[in-house]
């Protein structure tokens, strides 16, 4: 069977072509590509059959490549940058489709990605693409101008950094002027703009300018124009788009700014205000959820009545979760005090079981059997903890352990029920394996919602309520609480 390699050669020098692309080219009997690209890789294709084509012969180029590969040859079809970004890959599929080619048919197709112009040119001028960015080709040879115009407008409105490919050619001069006009409606004239011509090639030429002035410079077929977002700035001649660290952290000290939390969504003044106003109109003032991690200013859950007793309503999961929450909140009031100050109440129970942390996993003891729930954070010698492994369930979600010596284990939580079913149940409720940081937060939340109790002179957080709560309901409560 023949092979068609669809190869992106990167910006155009040997340092920036991938080993996979190079290997494909070297393996090929025949290399097909636009004249300029063939020239860029000329020393790698000496002695090979070569088909050079002009710009407007692309369909023919793709068809020839497929036909030749079908004859059993190994062919490389070359694009600059990446073949999947305004390159030959799409065209190959269009021709294959026309031929009714199916997966497994001759020829086989292999892709070799390359560094696309936005990425290579971006790296020549600093770090312009750090945040959300997009690429727009200004070539209206195959795309109606009205479509392109709409995309520029949307990208400008969305404050994307924009890399313009095919910004102009000998005949096409109007498009980039129009693009500037649209962008200026949304961004200041001082917005940085980089013009990178022939990036990483011999004739590389770079101009740093701004939105008001970049049209004063030469822009052609070999140029990529990178227009900054409203946040992009110039620093020491480099074009930089901030990632947003300074919204959350003091850059000098690295400390989290007041009102922000490290692993939580960025709190931004007025962020949700537009939505809050609408919600207030619909729901009245009652929709705010007190005593959760949802602070009043950014809460946008919309329960009609959070104290509805009908617990689970099938139609409205948010409502159900909130109902469940309100039941949790009816437990004994817990003042905001440091944990030690909370009095532990002595209790009696007939079938206590116990839960504690062990090296990032949970250790569960139901009075008879021990279970490890979740994986250890780092490999750990079980015998040092007093155990031997008996059985592994469901790929290690739960392991049954046997006590082999009397190393003492610490248990923080009082549970009830037992057996492997309860171990699975606790796994589900704690979301142990799926995401360690969520399981930690769930742990904190569970502690906060639980009473401290004394059993046989030992104090525990009493999480029997969690053992009893149906899994589905807890899932909803958890999702609500972890939302922000
Ligand atoms: N497949 C290519 C893009 C082909 S469209 C890729 O992924 O990069 C052709 C356009 O790409 C040019 O008009 C120019 O805007 C951009 N381009 C490609 N290589 C470039 C380079 N080395 N320097 C600057 N722009 C380049």
The answer to whether residue 208 is domain-embedded is yes
User: Taking 70 as the threshold, does the pLDDT of residue 277 lie above it?
Assistant: no
For the CA of 201, the closest atom of ligand 1 is 22
Q: How far is CA 335 from the centre of its chain?
A: 38
Banded pLDDT at 55 (limits 50, 70, 90): low
The answer to whether residue 256 is domain-embedded is no
User: Taking 80 as the threshold, does the pLDDT of residue 421 lie above it?
Assistant: yes
Are residues 198 and 124 part of one domain?
A: yes
Stated length of the chain: 484
Are residues 40 and 133 part of one domain?
A: no
Work out the average pLDDT over 43-62.
Answer: 84
CB 157 within 8 A of CB 186: yes
User: Taking 60 as the threshold, does the pLDDT of residue 337 lie above it?
Assistant: no
Are residues 190 and 167 part of one domain?
A: yes
Are residues 133 and 36 part of one domain?
A: no
Are residues 109 and 179 part of one domain?
A: no
The more confident residue out of 342 and 84 is 84
Looking at residue 34, which CATH number applies to its domain?
3.40.1010.10
Q: End of a domain among 214, 240, 266?
A: 240
pTM comes to: 0.67
The answer to whether residue 324 is domain-embedded is yes
Which residue among 17, 117, 166 is best mutated to probe the pocket of ligand 1, counting the most ligand atoms within 8 A of its Cβ?
A: 117
pLDDT for the residue numbered 473: 83
Regarding the beta carbon of 116 and ligand 1, being less than 6 Å apart is answered yes
Nearest CA to ligand 1 atom 2: 81
CA of 48 to the centre of ligand 1 (A): 25
CA of 231 to the centre of ligand 1 (A): 25
Which residue among 140, 173, 222, 227 is best mutated to probe the pocket of ligand 1, counting the most ligand atoms within 8 A of its Cβ?
A: 222
User: Taking 80 as the threshold, does the pLDDT of residue 259 lie above it?
Assistant: no
Are residues 322 and 450 part of one domain?
A: yes
Looking at residue 131, which CATH number applies to its domain?
3.30.950.10
The answer to whether residue 279 is domain-embedded is no
Regarding the beta carbon of 196 and ligand 1, being less than 6 Å apart is answered yes
CA of 173 to the centre of ligand 1 (A): 17
Regarding the beta carbon of 163 and ligand 1, being less than 6 Å apart is answered no
Q: End of a domain among 186, 212, 240?
A: 240
Are residues 336 and 423 part of one domain?
A: yes
Regarding the beta carbon of 165 and ligand 1, being less than 6 Å apart is answered yes
The answer to whether residue 107 is domain-embedded is yes
Q: Which range is least confidently modeled, 70-79, 181-190, 199-208, 317-326?
A: 317-326
The answer to whether residue 291 is domain-embedded is no
In the chain, the N- to C-terminal Cα span, in Å, equals 54
Regarding the beta carbon of 366 and ligand 1, being less than 6 Å apart is answered no
pLDDT for the residue numbered 290: 32
pLDDT for the residue numbered 279: 62
Are residues 207 and 147 part of one domain?
A: yes
Work out the average pLDDT over 372-390.
Answer: 89
Q: Which range is least confidently modeled, 180-194, 328-342, 455-469?
A: 328-342
Q: How far is CA 273 from the centre of its chain?
A: 26
Are residues 467 and 325 part of one domain?
A: yes
Nearest CA to ligand 1 atom 26: 117
pLDDT for the residue numbered 222: 95
At 45 the three-state DSSP class reads coil
Are residues 209 and 98 part of one domain?
A: no
Count of structural domains, the chain: 3
For the CA of 164, the closest atom of ligand 1 is 15
CA of 34 to the centre of ligand 1 (A): 13
CB 361 within 8 A of CB 374: yes
- The parent domain of residue 419 ranges over 318-482
pLDDT for the residue numbered 180: 97
The more confident residue out of 356 and 437 is 356
Nearest CA to ligand 1 atom 13: 166
CB 324 within 8 A of CB 311: yes
Sign of the CA dihedral running 418, 419, 423, 425: negative
- DSSP for 71-137, please give it: TT-EEEEEESB-TTSSSSHHHHHHHHHHTT--TTSSSEEEEE----HHHHHHHHHEETTSSSEEEEE
Regarding the beta carbon of 81 and ligand 1, being less than 6 Å apart is answered yes
User: Taking 50 as the threshold, does the pLDDT of residue 303 lie above it?
Assistant: no
Q: Which residues are CB-neighbours of 380 under 8 A, at least 6 positions away?
A: 359
Q: Which range is least confidently modeled, 47-56, 80-89, 336-345?
A: 336-345
Q: End of a domain among 85, 115, 145?
A: 115
The answer to whether residue 7 is domain-embedded is yes
Are residues 338 and 453 part of one domain?
A: yes
Are residues 447 and 336 part of one domain?
A: yes
Banded pLDDT at 325 (limits 50, 70, 90): low
Q: Percent of the chain scored above 70 by pLDDT?
A: 82
User: Taking 60 as the threshold, does the pLDDT of residue 397 lie above it?
Assistant: yes
The answer to whether residue 280 is domain-embedded is no
Helix 174-186 / helix 145-157 crossing angle, nearest 10 deg: 30
User: 208 — phi, psi (to 5°)?
Assistant: -100, 125
Record the tokens describing residue 156, joined without a space: 């400008």
Chain-wide mean pLDDT for the chain?
A: 85
User: Taking 90 as the threshold, does the pLDDT of residue 205 lie above it?
Assistant: yes
Regarding the beta carbon of 12 and ligand 1, being less than 6 Å apart is answered yes
User: Taking 70 as the threshold, does the pLDDT of residue 484 lie above it?
Assistant: no
């Amino acid at each position: 069977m023949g092979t068609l390699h669809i190869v992106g050669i990167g910006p155009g020098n040997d340092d920036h072509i991938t080993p996979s692309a190079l290997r494909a080219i070297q393996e090929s009997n025949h290399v097909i590509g636009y004249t300029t690209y063939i020239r860029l890789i000329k020393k790698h294709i000496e002695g090979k059959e070569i088909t050079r084509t002009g710009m407007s012969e692309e369909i023919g180029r793709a068809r020839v490549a497929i036909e030749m590969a079908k004859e059993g040859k190994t062919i490389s079809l070359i694009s600059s940058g990446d073949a999947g970004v305004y390159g030959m890959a799409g065209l190959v599929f269009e021709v294959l489709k026309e031929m009714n080619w199916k997966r497994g048919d001759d020829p086989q197709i292999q892709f070799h990605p390359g560094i696309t112009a936005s990425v290579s040119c971006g790296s020549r001028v600093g770090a312009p693409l750090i945040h959300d960015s997009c690429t727009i080709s200004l070539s209206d040879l195959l795309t109606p101008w009205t479509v392109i115009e709409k995309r520029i407008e949307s990208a400008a409105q969305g404050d994307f950094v924009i890399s313009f490919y095919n910004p102009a050619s000998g005949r096409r001069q109007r498009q980039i002027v129009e693009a500037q006009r649209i962008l200026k409606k949304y961004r200041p004239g001082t917005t940085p703009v980089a013009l990178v011509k022939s990036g990483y090639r011999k004739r590389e030429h770079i101009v740093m300018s701004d939105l008001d002035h970049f049209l004063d410079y030469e822009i052609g077929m070999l140029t990529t124009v990178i227009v900054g977002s409203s946040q992009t700035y110039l620093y020491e001649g480099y074009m930089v788009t901030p990632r947003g660290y300074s919204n959350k952290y003091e850059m000098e000290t690295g400390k989290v700014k007041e009102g922000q939390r490290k692993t939580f969504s960025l709190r931004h003044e007025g962020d949700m205000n537009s939505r809050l106003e609408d919600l207030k109109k619909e729901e009245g003032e009652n929709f705010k959820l007190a005593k959760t991690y949802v602070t009043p200013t950014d809460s946008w859950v919309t329960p009609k009545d959070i104290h509805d007793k009908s617990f689970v309503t099938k139609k409205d999961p948010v409502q159900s979760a909130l109902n469940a929450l309100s039941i949790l909140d009816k437990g004994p009031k817990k003042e905001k005090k440091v944990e030690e100050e909370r009095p532990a109440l002595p209790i009696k129970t007939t079938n206590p079981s116990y839960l504690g942390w062990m090296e990032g996993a949970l250790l569960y003891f139901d009075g008879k059997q021990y279970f490890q729930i979740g994986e250890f954070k780092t490999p750990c010698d079980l015998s040092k903890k007093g155990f031997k492994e008996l059985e592994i369930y469901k790929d290690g979600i739960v392991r049954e352990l046997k006590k082999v010596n009397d190393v003492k284990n610490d248990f923080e939580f009082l549970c009830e029920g037992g057996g492997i079913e309860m171990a699975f149940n606790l796994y589900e409720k704690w979301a142990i394996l799926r995401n360690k940081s969520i399981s930690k937060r769930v742990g904190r939340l569970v502690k906060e919602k639980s009473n401290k109790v004394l059993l046989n002179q030992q104090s525990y957080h009493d999480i029997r309520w969690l053992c009893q709560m149906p899994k589905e309901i807890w899932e909803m409560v958890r999702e609500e609480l972890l939302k922000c």
